[in-house]
Amino acid sequence: MADTSNFRNGFTMRHKNGLWTIVEFQHVKPGKGPAFVRTKLKNVENGKVVDHTFRSGEKVEEVRLEKRPYQYLYPDGDFLIFMNTETYEQIQLHKEGLGDVIPYIKESDICSVMLLEDSPLTVEPPQTVELAVKETDPGLRGDTAQGGSKPAHMETGLVVQVPLFIEEGQVLRIDSRTGKYLGRV
């Protein structure tokens, strides 16, 4: 058991019949009344994000998740196949359980698979991914006075706002946490 003084970003706990990870938290000591901790929690199984307030000192059950490197191999119907890079053991994860991770990974990418007692829960893509532009509108020469942007469809189906000078076929670096364009490769 842990209490609110152990909270940190990435802390995983059992709460309300589910596994939740703290995305962000803030200790609040109002002038009147007891202290409390305001948190933003992300459900490990389905990715749902909720706000929750804990009383200061409240006990929660901490869960230790293990993170192992796995290589994404290929899609197989409603499943994605991953291989442990150390033991070469393959696992399959259902697409529904991965949510918004799928557009950030392509075949042969190394991802982190979160395991609870050797049972895979979810996948974390690399922090930055390199994807090729599959389709985008042509940029107009000299049309950058306002620093505009346009949508670009990437090879995995992800749509990212990019500067006007980006053309089809270029490889871009994308932040998988925010979905923002970082630069050309």
pTM, two decimals, is 0.74
- In the block, tokens 């842990």 appear at 2
Q: What is the pLDDT of residue 143?
A: 57
Q: What is the pLDDT of residue 54?
A: 94
Q: Which residue has the higher pLDDT, 96 or 73?
A: 73
Please, what's the largest Cα pairwise distance for the chain?
Answer: 61
Q: What is the pLDDT of residue 41?
A: 92
Q: Domains in the chain, ordered, with CATH?
A: 2-62 (2.30.30.30), 66-124 (2.40.50.140), 128-184 (2.40.50.140)
Q: What is the pLDDT of residue 18?
A: 87
109-163: pLDDT as tens digits: 999 998 888 888 888 888 899 999 999 988 766 655 566 788 999 999 999 999 8
Q: What is the amino acid identity at position 104?
A: Y
18-77: pLDDT as tens digits: 889 898 999 999 998 999 999 999 888 777 889 999 999 999 999 988 889 999 999 998
pLDDT for residue 87 is more than 70: yes
Q: What is the pLDDT of residue 141?
A: 63
Q: What is the pLDDT of residue 146?
A: 66
116 bridge partner residues = 119
pLDDT band at 177 (very low <50, low <70, confident <90, very high): confident
Q: How far apart are CA 9 and CA 29, in angstroms?
A: 19
Work out the burial of residue 136: count CB atoms within 10 Å of its CB; fewer than 13 is exposed, 13-18 middle, 19 or more buried.
Answer: buried
pLDDT band at 89 (very low <50, low <70, confident <90, very high): very high
Q: How far apart are CA 31 and CA 52, in angstroms?
A: 21
